[in-house]
Structure 1
Amino acid sequence: MAGKPKLHYFKGRGRMESIRWLLAAAGVEFEEEFIKSPDDLEKLRNDGNLMFQQVPMVEIDGMKLVQMRAILNYIASKHNLYGKDIKERALIDMYVEGMVDLNEMIMRLPIHPPEEQGAQLALIKEKTTNRYFPAFEKVLKSHGQDYMVGNKLSRADIQLVELIYSVEELDPSLTANFPLLKALKTRISNVPTVKKFLQPGSQRKPPVTAKDVEEARKIFKF
C-alpha cells in the first residue's frame, strides 16, 4: 500500500496551497516536510530530488513530482476531478489558468515594498471585479448548473473556491455582486472533506504575513 503523499515546501501558502486544497478535497491525507533553511533546500537539490532545482515538490505514488500544474493535474486525474473527456479538461484548464493568474497577484502582494502595496491591492481589486470574477460568474450563469464544468465537482470548483476565500481575506465586499460565486463557495465549503480542511487546526495555511515573507527570503534568497 502506498504511503501518504509528502509535500516539500516552506511553512506557508505559496504555490503549495492549491495542492493542499486539492488533496484535502479528494479526501487524501498527506504529510508535510517543511523547508526551514537554505541548507534544507540545498539538501533536496543535492540529493537529486528537485528536477528543476525548485519547489514545490510532492512525493506521491513512487514519484517526486515538481511544477505546480503537473502536480495538480496528476492529483485531479487520479481522483476524478478533471472532467470526463478532453473537452471538459480543456475548459477546466482554461478556467484554472485564469484563477492562477489572479492568485499569483495575490500571493505576490506581501512581497512588494510597503509603499507599493496600496497600488497593487487596488489593481487586484480592479481585476477581480472587472475581469476574473465576472468571467466565472458568467460561466455559472450560462449553464445554470451547480459546478463549473459538466455539473460535477472538479478541480476548477475547488481552486475557484480557494481563490474566493483569498479574495475575501483582502476585502469581503469584492464578492458582493457575484451571487453565483458566493453560492458556489457555500456549496463547496459544505463538501465534508473541504469542510474538514476549513476547520481550525487543519493543514490549511493562514494568510501570508511580513514575517512569512522574510522567512521565505532567507530560504529562497529572492
Structure 2
Amino acid sequence: MAGKPKLHYFNGRGRMESIRWLLAAAGVEFEEKFIKTKEDLQRMRNDPSFIYQQVPMVEIDGMKLVQTRAILNYIADKHNLYGKDIKERALIDMYTEGMADLNELVAYYPFLPSGEQEASLTQIKEKAKNRYFPAFEKVLKSHGQDYLVGNKLSKADILLVELLYNVEELDPSAITSFPLLKALKNRISSLPTVKKFLQPGSPRKPYTDKKSVEEMKKTFA
C-alpha cells in the first residue's frame, strides 16, 4: 500500500498551498518536509531525481512530481475531481488557469516592498471584482448548478474557494456583491474534509507575514 504523499516546501503558503487544499478536500492525509535552510534546499538539488531543481515537489505513488499544475492535475484525476470527459476537463483547466493568474498576484503581495503594496492591492481588488469574480459568478448563474462544471465537485470549485479566502484576507468585502460565489464558498467550506482543513491546527498555512517573508528570502536567495 502506498504511503502518504510527502510535500517538500517551506513552512508557508506559496505555490504549495493549493496542493494542500486539494489533497485535504480529497480526504488525503499527507506529510510535510519543510525546507528551513539553504543547506536543506541544496541537498534536494543534489538529488538527481529532483528535476528542474525547484519546489514545490510532491512524492506520491512512487513519483517525485514538480510543477504545481502537473501536481494538481494528477491529484484531481486520481481522486475524481477532474470532470467526466475531455470537455469538462478543458473547462476545469480554463477556470483554474484564471484563478491561478489572480492567486499569483495575491501570493506575491506580501513579498513586495512596502512602497509597492498599495498599487498591488489596488490591482488585486480591481481584477477580482471586475474581471475574475464576475466571470465565475456568471458561470454559476448560467447553468444554475451547485458547482462550476458538470454539477459535481471538481478541483475548480476547491481552488476557487481557496482564492476567495485569500482575497478576502486582503479585502473583506471582496465577494459581497457575488451571492453565488458566497453560496459556493459556504457549500465547499461545509464539506467535512474542507471544514476540517479550515480548523486551527490543520496543515493549512496562515497568512504570510513579514517574519515568514524574511525567513523564506534567506532560504531561497
Instruction: Settle same-fold status: TM greater than 0.5.
Output: yes
State the 1:210 CA deviation.
Answer: 1.0
Partner of 1:120: 120
Q: How many angstroms apart in 1 are the aligned matches of 2:201 and 2:49?
A: 29
Which amino acid in 2 is paired with 1:55? V
Partner of 2:2: 2
Partner of 1:140: 140
% identical aligned pairs: 76
Question: Deviation per CA, 1:95-143, whole angstroms, max 9, x where unpaired?
Answer: 0000000000000001111011011101100000000000000000000
Q: How many angstroms apart in 1 are the aligned matches of 2:175 and 2:50?
A: 38
Q: How many angstroms apart in 1 are the aligned matches of 2:56 and 2:50?
A: 9
Which amino acid in 2 is paired with 1:4? K
- Within 5 Å, which residues of 2 pair with 1:207-222? 207-221=207-221
State the 1:58 CA deviation.
Answer: 0.2
Q: Secondary structure in 2 aligned to 1:48? A: coil
Q: Secondary structure in 2 aligned to 1:199? A: coil
- Within 5 Å, which residues of 2 pair with 1:4-153? 4-153=4-153
Which amino acid in 1 is paired with 2:71? I
State the 1:48 CA deviation.
Answer: 2.1
Q: How many angstroms apart in 2 are the aligned matches of 1:3 and 1:116?
A: 44
- Alignment TM-score, normalising by the size of structure 1: 0.99
Q: How many angstroms apart in 1 are the aligned matches of 2:184 and 2:117?
A: 29
Segments of structure 1 that go 5 or more residues without pairing to the other structure are none
Which amino acid in 2 is paired with 1:171? D
Q: 97-106 or 45-54, which moves further after superposition? A: 45-54
* Cα distance change of structure 1 residues 217 and 49 upon mapping to structure 2, 3 Å threshold: farther
State the 1:49 CA deviation.
Answer: 3.8
Q: How many angstroms apart in 2 are the aligned matches of 1:50 and 1:188?
A: 34
Q: Secondary structure in 2 aligned to 1:214? A: helix
Segments of structure 2 that go 5 or more residues without pairing to the other structure are none
Runs ≥4 residues deviating over 4 A: none
